[in-house]
Structure 1
């Protein structure tokens, strides 16, 4: 080849690569549009039939069937009701994508034609209302759409894809259950772990956070014990109602007076229960707390301070040593979720290539809990990233702002993602991320 021909070929190469890149985006856009009626039908079905934590049998069966139909090797009942689908497609890294499946025990008030009605069973066998108020139905739908897309684009990537339907995220137990059941030993061990979460931002937008993204979550039960008696003779008692009230107020000083100023932390007393009658001083009062932080040492400090305050306030109130408060953890800690900075930067650049750049925005860390954190806290420290997809109707956002009312958000009985832009953005971003991480060398 002459130097002139070689130069011409080199000049044409970026253009050819650009056309190829544009072509795959066009292919994805056309397939998403073609698949959308089916995906919306799946979403509506999932939304109308919510299931609670570790009871997601119908949801898991639907997901497993869809993934088998798409051509994946599927295993069910991993970590109780979890689903694992594997697609081996030549040499390369392994990418795992999670979609969580469970709903919340609450009554839906959206008024949608496909709203959940009636009751469903809890893990203990009781009847409870249920609603997909945290968009896990959207997550499952996005996982199915992405599975179809990446199967159709097998010639565009190389490596192994692992898709999981995770149970029990709402109680922080599903990820651990799947890992204990051999998620990283029975199936290909991931080199990257991805997930999305739908929230109350404008539908079709993407938000990302690098580093700590979701908080440590500790739940504590405190039994404030005293010596009960007649309400007319308080001097003959050690009143646990008064002591519990003092404890609630004293706990508010932990963040303001015991942590370095600016340290993110939350101590919330969510429930206080005690007593039976106007004129009876009870023997005990129960408190329920949630604690949030972004650092394990801070989380430990919060718990230690709460124990100290409860114990010494009780002593100051004259409570006998054998009646001091009992502080007990409710379940295990949901650890802080940390988005790998290098992976997050890489995916952010990908999203800005696939979407209008103004729709890919930096977000803020939230003090929600998310058991996605467990997938990257294993011995091999797998790089992980979870990002947010907006789901709210822009018209609803505008109306809320104009009226000064709050926008329905996750865990609200009125939360209702706008299906089309949310589903399409979810499938597009997960597909784009996987294609980049599994790009042929």
Structure 2
């Protein structure tokens, strides 16, 4: 038997204005904006929320948008979409590709905004079927890990009702039509680390009169690869990535310093601390071995928390998704090594459910080599790829997931 939430969700989303939503998505995709510069994007979302009857504010936490729809007694449910794009040069060849050189919605945030706008309108139009309060949030700066925190610090929950539960979703690679849920740990913590190696610069023809930080940095990068493989137990998932090395200005100048940027992905605070200790130890050791004139600078920068779904909340949302989309569409993929700042909205331990919506176009998926799901996922364009292009056929289902998830938690007539 279908639950009232599933039945109501199907009714409210039966006649979605799909062409309009697709046009909205294309417009957002053409005009990407970086973190905390999402002025146009925020204005577009705010306009949609106001048109749906939400009391709406802009500029929350910088460029954030919040809209509230009060509809009688019942829970306060927050629906969140992130808004920022990435410094990626688009290579999709789409007719609606980015018009801003070097910027791209390469992570699906334009799709997230479209889903939120569509869900807000559908729930507002069908408000006679449910009671409670909806809080729709367009969050800036997810990519830099600043947006959720900034919105909270700017009084999000003082200016608007404090939510009883949070809901969020993310576009992901995989054959369009799947809705992965995990009733617990779903995404990992992320920590950025910057290292400055100090050498003694000089002429490229006289390396003996210098202490070359480039060579030291090269040894350091190589040695760091042993942290995960040789200092952590096999059951302790972790990733260490060197994302950037910078040094020097010309071919024949040995520079006086080299800079290394690292990113860590961990699923426990204990593992994170052990990795940071190992990085500091290895950096000091390599610089000592090279005879560097001073110790390296190791700075811990942006950090994203682990994301742990409230098990009961996520099971309720996953159950209604299974009813709406059918058997086999909802499954537990286990924890991903990706990271999100969404948990920073959960101040005071507000329960939340966060899930994925697979968006790879059918023709792209069919052409990918491999037979198993996870094998093929590795072969299709992923988030942050210049070729990432979600299937427009997922516009309506992504609206339906938010609507049905919200109705699973609101009071349904």
Corresponding residue number in structure 1 for 2:88: 106
Return 5+ residue gaps in structure 2 as ranges: none
**1:102 to partner: Cα distance:** 1.0
Between the aligned partners of 1:180 and 1:21, the Cα distance in structure 2 is 33
**1:301 to partner: Cα distance:** 2.1
Does residue 435 (structure 1) correspond to residue 374 (structure 2)? The answer is no
Of residues 360, 369, 378, the one that matches 2:330 is 360
Does residue 220 (structure 1) correspond to residue 220 (structure 2)? The answer is no
Sort the Cα spacing of 1:42 and 1:306 in 2 relative to 1 into closer, same or farther, 3 A.
Answer: same
Sort the Cα spacing of 1:295 and 1:29 in 2 relative to 1 into closer, same or farther, 3 A.
Answer: same
**1:385 to partner: Cα distance:** 1.5
> Contact 1:31–1:149 at 8 Å: present in 2 too?
no
> Contact 2:10–2:324 at 8 Å: present in 1 too?
no
Of residues 347, 351, 369, the one that matches 1:383 is 351
Does residue 334 (structure 1) correspond to residue 304 (structure 2)? The answer is yes
Deviation sequence 1:260-304 (CA, Å, 0-9, x none) = 332111111112222344554332211111111111222222222
Sort the Cα spacing of 1:22 and 1:193 in 2 relative to 1 into closer, same or farther, 3 A.
Answer: closer
**1:342 to partner: Cα distance:** 1.6
Between the aligned partners of 1:309 and 1:20, the Cα distance in structure 2 is 58
Return 5+ residue gaps in structure 1 as ranges: 1-13, 120-128
Corresponding residue number in structure 2 for 1:27: 11
TM-score (norm 1): 0.87
Corresponding residue number in structure 2 for 1:54: 36
Deviation sequence 1:373-427 (CA, Å, 0-9, x none) = 2122x2x20111211111111121111227999311111111111112x111111
Corresponding residue number in structure 2 for 1:305: 278
Residue aligned with 1:112, SS: coil
**1:238 to partner: Cα distance:** 2.6
Superposed, 1:10-409 pairs within 5 Å as 24-32=8-16, 35-119=17-101, 129-320=102-293, 323-330=294-301, 332-376=302-346, 378=347, 380-401=348-369, 406-409=379-382
> Contact 2:71–2:133 at 8 Å: present in 1 too?
yes
> Contact 2:9–2:407 at 8 Å: present in 1 too?
no
Corresponding residue number in structure 1 for 2:397: 425
Between the aligned partners of 1:19 and 1:97, the Cα distance in structure 2 is 21
Between the aligned partners of 2:234 and 2:312, the Cα distance in structure 1 is 29
TM-score (norm 2): 0.93
Q: Which has the larger radius of gyration?
A: 1
Residue aligned with 1:30, SS: coil
Corresponding residue number in structure 2 for 1:9: none
> Contact 1:248–1:269 at 8 Å: present in 2 too?
yes
Residue aligned with 2:303, SS: coil
Residue aligned with 2:304, SS: coil
Between the aligned partners of 2:43 and 2:201, the Cα distance in structure 1 is 53
Between the aligned partners of 2:169 and 2:282, the Cα distance in structure 1 is 39
Deviation sequence 1:79-106 (CA, Å, 0-9, x none) = 1111101011111111101011111112
Between the aligned partners of 1:402 and 1:415, the Cα distance in structure 2 is 19
**1:232 to partner: Cα distance:** 4.6
**1:153 to partner: Cα distance:** 2.0
Residue aligned with 2:69, SS: strand
Between the aligned partners of 1:137 and 1:22, the Cα distance in structure 2 is 26
Corresponding residue number in structure 2 for 1:3: none
Between the aligned partners of 1:438 and 1:224, the Cα distance in structure 2 is 55
> Contact 1:156–1:435 at 8 Å: present in 2 too?
no
Residue aligned with 1:427, SS: helix
Between the aligned partners of 1:298 and 1:112, the Cα distance in structure 2 is 42
Between the aligned partners of 2:33 and 2:275, the Cα distance in structure 1 is 34
Indicate the RMSD between aligned Cα atoms, in angstroms.
2.1
Between the aligned partners of 1:402 and 1:335, the Cα distance in structure 2 is 33
Deviation sequence 1:322-342 (CA, Å, 0-9, x none) = x11111123x31111111122
